[in-house]
Amino acid sequence: MTLSPPVPFSPELETFRANETETIDGLKDAFDAIMDKTANDYGHAVRSVHAKSHGILSAKMTVHSDLSNELAQGLFSQPGTYGVHMRLSTNAGDILPDTIALPRGLAMKVVGVRGKRLPDADGTSQDFVMVNGPVFQAVNAEKFLGNLKLLVKTTDRLEGTKEVLSSVLQTVNKGMEAIGISSPAIQSLGGAPNVDPLGETYFSVTPFRYGDFVAKFRLKPISAGLVELSGREVDTSTGDDAIRNTVQAEMLSIRAEWEFQVQLCRDVSKQPIEDPTVEWSESDTPFVTVATVAADPQDTWRAESVQEVDEMMRFSVWTGLAAHQPLGNINRARKATYQRSAEFRQSFNRCPIREPN
């Protein structure tokens, strides 16, 4: 099969909505309400989304040396090896027992990247923020704000009710998946499979500039120790932090390895920029590996790593190179809201948040 050529990057690929400023203000207010509630209850500020960490990993990214011209872009334009900080998480803005099954997240900070930076992007890192599903649950930031307002009302409350609801939704979700239907909405409410985060494949969900082109990103496990964990459910009856404890025990003996892949936009009618609910079909534009990420056996919950990464770092799609500019309405809304979350944590906890050297 002959693939269409990749779509050249152009600012005209983005379509701005008339109410984006008002929607972003509403998102900031909603996230403020979540952070105020959780910080006052916990006596410590946590992230407005993906508040609960399951593991902090130290890794290396090796950019491949044999990339074609269309793949050798931005960070991946030259072969090289970089240090990487990785954070595994669950997507809620409050710290919930692991019996409440929600989608997993993986954030990566690639350190020491050279090149023209995005506006207001401090340091020399390139961040990638991903989840274990290929699509987002809302078509745009306005729809996401409507969902978020419902979550604000239940933040850090009714844990017993959430556990019961999660159990019911997990059963519903499994039934739907058995007939080939996947529902990001049900999963985001607590119906996600309670899987081991080390075995998951992670997606950027939203598109990004890829130098001269446009792409989505994927991180796919390839080492035997990770592949055998794919789809494996964690026994969460052992405690509220069962997932964290499971990851910690597993990584003491596993050498983890992933492929970092890109999926180039080749037809904006099939691979839209502004609608992250549309999955880009791999038959139209396959994922291609551009780098390998590897982590040696380690303790994923060392106090020093938790302090350095979980407390003193922020992960944002807007931290990085201009060559990997986030695209689309959802990504545009993430800039101010991510910054707001980091500033709140820094102020409340009296702990500086900074980019690594």
Handedness of CA 21, 25, 28, 30 (dihedral sign): negative
pLDDT above 60: residue 47: yes
For 152, the enclosing helix (H) or strand (E) is helix 141-152
C-alpha span between 81 and 68 (Å, rounded): 18
Amino acid 156: pLDDT: 55
Predicted confidence at residue 135, as pLDDT, reads 95
Half-sphere exposure of 333 (CA within 13 A, CB side): 28
CB contact at 8 A, 345 and 139: no
pLDDT for the residue numbered 326: 98
pLDDT of residue 146: 85
Is the pLDDT higher at 148 or at 267? 267
The chain-wide mean pLDDT, for the chain, equals 89
DSSP-derived letter for residue 321 is B
Give dist(CA 348, CA 22) in Å, integer.
26
As a whole number, mean pLDDT of residues 288-305 equals: 98
Give the pLDDT mean for 267-271.
Answer: 98
Using alpha carbons, list the distances in angstroms from residue 356 to 21, 57, 72, 111, 122.
31, 15, 25, 7, 10
How much is the pTM?
0.90
Give yes or no for residue 325 having a pLDDT over 60.
yes
Predicted confidence band of residue 172 (pLDDT cuts 50, 70, 90): very low
Q: What would the mean pLDDT of 164-170 be, rounded to a whole number?
A: 37
- Residue 33 CA to residue 50 CA, distance in Å, equals 15
- The letter for the amino acid at 57 is L
User: Strand, helix or coil at 306?
Assistant: helix
What was the pLDDT predicted at 229? 97
- Is there a contact between 203 and 137 (Cβ–Cβ < 8 Å)? no
Q: How high is the pLDDT of residue 154?
A: 65
Least confident of 37-46, 55-64, 218-227: 37-46
Closest CA to 286 of 261, 258, 263, 260: 263
pLDDT (tens digit per residue) in 91-133: 888 888 898 888 899 999 999 999 999 999 999 999 999 999 9
pLDDT tens for 194-252 read 899 999 999 999 999 999 999 999 999 999 999 999 999 999 999 999 999 999 999 99
Is residue 276 a contact partner of residue 206, using CB atoms and an 8 Å limit?
yes
Residues 354 and 45 sit within 8 Å (Cβ to Cβ): no
